[in-house]
Amino acid sequence: MACWRSEDGTSAPSLAHGRTERRAAEAAALAATRTEREQAVVTRADAATAAEAARAHLAAASPKACEAMRRQHLQQQARRRSTAVFQNAEEVPLTPATEPQDVFEREVLARHTLPATTWSSEPKADYGSDDAAALAAERAWLVQMMTTDPKRNR
């Protein structure tokens, strides 16, 4: 141990030795608090899943990780709150999505008429819903259009 002598002749440990002892004491205190935090986290009853237990263990191991997880948790809470407010807002009645008449006509004609030529590379046509009533209504509309509209009946 390095010592130095004061003017009155007494010996005292060197400043470097005192600094080393202080650092060792601080490291021991930090390790003790870390161990206490880890024990508190390991014995937590609310860590139901393995993921929650792993997060809790990471938070106990590092103060920086704990702070980052706390910030993330607060951000998620704010997001959940704003989503809940939005979901509990007064519901606005939705207007049904209707397609223009020409799109409807084109799709019905494509579904119910055979193509002039068939290429093997062409994808199979989608024949719409399997609802028999909807198909019957489309066919009835198609028959009515073919019989009443002179432009279409060529």
**Residue 35 sits in the same domain as residue 49:** yes
Look up the pTM and report it. 0.25
The predicted model gives 62-69 an average pLDDT of: 78
3 state DSSP class of 32: helix
**Residue 17 sits in the same domain as residue 77:** yes
Of 28, 85, 75, the C-alpha closest to 67 is 75
What residues contact 134, with CB distance under 8 A and at least 6 apart? 128
**In terms of C-beta density within 10 A (0-12 exposed, 13-18 middle, 19 or more buried), how is residue 60 classed?**
buried
**Which token pair is 26?**
């601080």
Residue 1 lies in a domain: no
Residue 61 lies in a domain: yes
Q: Calculate the average pLDDT of the chain.
A: 70
Higher-pLDDT residue of 70 and 119 is: 70
Residue 101 lies in a domain: yes
**Residue 83 sits in the same domain as residue 100:** no
Residue 147 has what pLDDT? 78
- Number of domains the chain contains: 2
Residue 4 lies in a domain: no
**Residue 67 sits in the same domain as residue 104:** no
Domain assignment of residue 102, given as a range: 93-115+125-154
The predicted model gives 66-76 an average pLDDT of: 77
Residue 3 lies in a domain: no
Residue 152 lies in a domain: yes
